[in-house]
Amino acid sequence: MTKVYVGMSGGVDSSLTAALLKEQGYDVTGVYMKNWTKDLPGMKCPWADDLADAKRVAVQLGIDFKVFDFENEYKHKVVDYMIDEYKAGRTPNPDIMCNQEVKFKIFLETALEDGADLIATGHYARAEDGVLKMATDTNKDQTYFLYRVTGAALKKTLFPLGEYTKPTVRDMAKARGLFTAGKKDSQGICFVGKVGIREFLSQYVEQVPGEIIDKKSGKTLGHHDGAIFYTLGQRHGLDLGGGLPYYVVGKDMGKNEVYVTTDLNDETLWKDTVQLKAVHWINDAPAAGVYTIRIRHRATLTNADLSFDESRAKLTIHDQQRAIASGQSVVIYRDDVCLGGGIVL
Q: Which of 4, 12, 79, 98 is catalytic?
A: 98
b/e burial code for range 128-164 (CB count within 10 A of at least 16 → b): eebbbbbbbbeebbbbbbbbbbbbebbebbbbbbbeb
Classify residue 209 by burial, with Cβ atoms within 10 Å: 0-12, 13-18, 19+. exposed
Packed helices 12-23 and 166-175: angle between N→C axes, nearest 10 degrees: 60
Angle between helices 12-23 and 47-61 (to 10 degrees): 20
| Sheet architecture: strand order including 257-261 | 220-224, 210-214, 257-261, 247-252
Q: Is 190 a catalytic residue?
A: yes
CA dihedral 102, 108, 110, 114 (to 10 degrees): 160
Active site residue 338: no
From the candidates 127, 169, 190, 269, give the one annotated as an active-site residue.
190
Provide the pairing of β-strand 289-294 with 270-281.
unpaired
Distances from the Cα of 258 to the Cα of 243, 254, 264, angstroms: 19, 11, 17
Across 292-321, b (16+ Cβ under 10 Å) vs e yields: bbbbbbeeeeeebebeeeeeebbbebeeeb
Cβ-contact 276, 341 below 8 angstroms: yes
Determine the distance from the C-alpha atom of residue 33 to the mean position of all C-alpha atoms in its chain, rounded to a whole number.
17
Active site residues: 98, 190
